[in-house]
Structure formats: C-alpha cells, structure tokens
C-alpha cells in the first residue's frame, strides 16, 4: 500500500501569517525522506494554502510521485499542463467549504469533465477522479476513461457508530473491487487518521492512501518524520 502525504496544511499554517515559513516544499522533502511514496497538494482557486510557487518548486524537487488536486477549471488545466505533475486528481471545489466536502458528480457532469481529462491525458498526466463510493460514479469514471479513482472516505471516517462504519467500509471495498475490475487504479482518502486507517488499508484493491490533516497535526507533537513513519507502518501492515 502506497502512502501519499498531503502537505496543504503546512501551507495553511504559513498563510496564517502570510509569510514564508513553514514551507510545504521543505515538508515534502522531509516526507519523502521519511518514506512517503508520494506528495499531494491541492491548488485551490482562492489559493488559501498552496501557492503557485509551491507547486512549481515541488515539481522540481519531488522525486517520488507528485499528485496535484484541482477543480476542473480552465485556469487549473493550463497550470497543470505547464507544471506537469505525475497525476492530477479532479475534485469539486466550493469557496465557502473548509475542505473538499463530497466527491465529483462524474455521472452528471461527464460532458464538462471529458475535455478536461483529454487535455490532461494528452500531456501524459495520469488522471484520477475523486468520487463517492457509489456504483453510478465508478461506472461513469470508467466510461469517461479515467486512469484512477480516489474513493472519498469521509463518510467512513465520520461514522458515529460501528454499524455505520462497517457499512461504509463495505461500500468502499465493493466500489474498489468494481473499479479494479473495470481496469482503473484505486486510491482512497479524506479524514483518515491513526485510528481509522487500518481497515481501509486492508482493502486489497486499494493501491494508495492519500492522507494530510492527521499526519500534519500529529507532526506538531512528534515531528514530521515520526508522524509519517508511524502512518506508513499502519498502512503497510
């Protein structure tokens, strides 16, 4: 199981003072040294955390795998084409949200997403679609020619009782299997932490977990290297 570390929240802290520290680029280098298999950043339309400069520098220094999360807009497509991340993960984006709240409606917005996929894939960028774990979305992602899907684990992570948690876990496993059978790679993420990650890490069809907030939060107390090593150990077991 690969672990990709989202370093947005290092930038969130930096932007609190609009200064130049802490630097998410330095965080990405440390993450790789600690054993992360990839680095993810979300360049948001409002630039609330990651800045264009971060993305460009990350492209130069990240040696593992650089995944750029972005909304399917013209502005973002042209930035991605210029920077050339290894992977783009298309996500829905609303200015007023605190974080990405739901998956992309691939089934309903196929006509808008199709040219975006072609524009990115045409430049050799692998495209992943961040979707809720429901059959219609998985099938629509496959029909659109997505290389990868990332299953939204938010409902699983936020489950308030064991029955709901197990139900959400089952949905994740079924949809991971469906996507795998349809020939797509499968990642998962959102809200995963040191307590809830293990069950998702055990789903065989999931190749990669994308985790940010819990790792950066823990790093405040134990350091980034240890926070990543501990998470890597949990997802590798």
For residues 190 and 217, what is the distance between their CA atoms, to the nearest angstrom? 14
Among 25, 87, 169, 192, interactor with ligand PXP by CB under 6 A: 192
Q: State yes or no: residue 91 binds ligand PXP (CB under 6 A).
A: yes
- Give, as ranges, the residues between 134 and 153 that touch ligand PXP (CB under 6 A): 150
Q: State yes or no: residue 103 binds ligand PXP (CB under 6 A).
A: no
Q: State yes or no: residue 186 binds ligand PXP (CB under 6 A).
A: no
Tokens of 9: 């929240």
Q: State yes or no: residue 133 binds ligand PXP (CB under 6 A).
A: no
Task: Identify which of residues 142 and 153 has a Cβ nearer to ligand PXP in the complex.
Answer: 153
Tokens of 159: 């489950």
Phi-psi region of 20 (alpha: psi -120 to 50; beta: other; left: phi over 0): alpha
Could you count the other beta carbons within 10 Å of the beta carbon of residue 162?
Answer: 8
Radius of gyration of the chain (CA): 17
Among 1, 6, 80, 125, interactor with ligand PXP by CB under 6 A: 6
For residues 124 and 139, what is the distance between their CA atoms, to the nearest angstrom? 23
Binding site for ligand PXP (CB under 6 A): 6, 8, 42, 69, 89, 91, 99-100, 130, 150, 189-192, 210-214
């Amino acid at each position: 199981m690969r672990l990709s570390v989202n370093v947005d929240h290092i930038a969130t802290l930096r932007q609190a003072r609009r200064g130049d520290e802490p630097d998410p680029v330095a965080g990405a280098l440390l993450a790789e040294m600690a054993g992360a298999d990839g680095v993810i950043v979300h360049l948001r339309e409002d630039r609330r955390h990651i800045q264009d400069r971060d993305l460009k520098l990350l492209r130069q220094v990240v040696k593992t795998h650089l995944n750029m999360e972005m909304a399917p807009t013209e502005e973002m497509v042209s930035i991605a084409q210029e920077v050339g991340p290894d992977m783009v993960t298309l996500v829905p984006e609303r200015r007023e949200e605190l974080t990405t709240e739901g998956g992309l409606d691939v089934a309903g917005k196929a006509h808008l997403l199709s040219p975006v996929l072609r524009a990115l894939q045409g430049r050799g960028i692998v495209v992943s679609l961040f979707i809720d774990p429901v059959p219609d979305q998985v099938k629509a992602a496959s029909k659109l020619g997505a290389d990868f899907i990332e299953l939204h684990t938010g409902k699983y992570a936020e489950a308030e009782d064991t029955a709901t948690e197990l139900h959400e876990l089952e949905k994740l496993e079924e949809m991971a299997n469906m996507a795998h059978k349809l020939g797509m790679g499968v990642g998962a993420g959102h809200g995963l932490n040191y307590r809830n990650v293990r069950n998702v890490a055990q789903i065989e069809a999931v190749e990669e977990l994308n985790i940010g907030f819990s790792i950066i939060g823990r790093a405040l107390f134990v350091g980034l290297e240890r926070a990543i090593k501990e998470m890597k150990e949990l997802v590798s077991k």
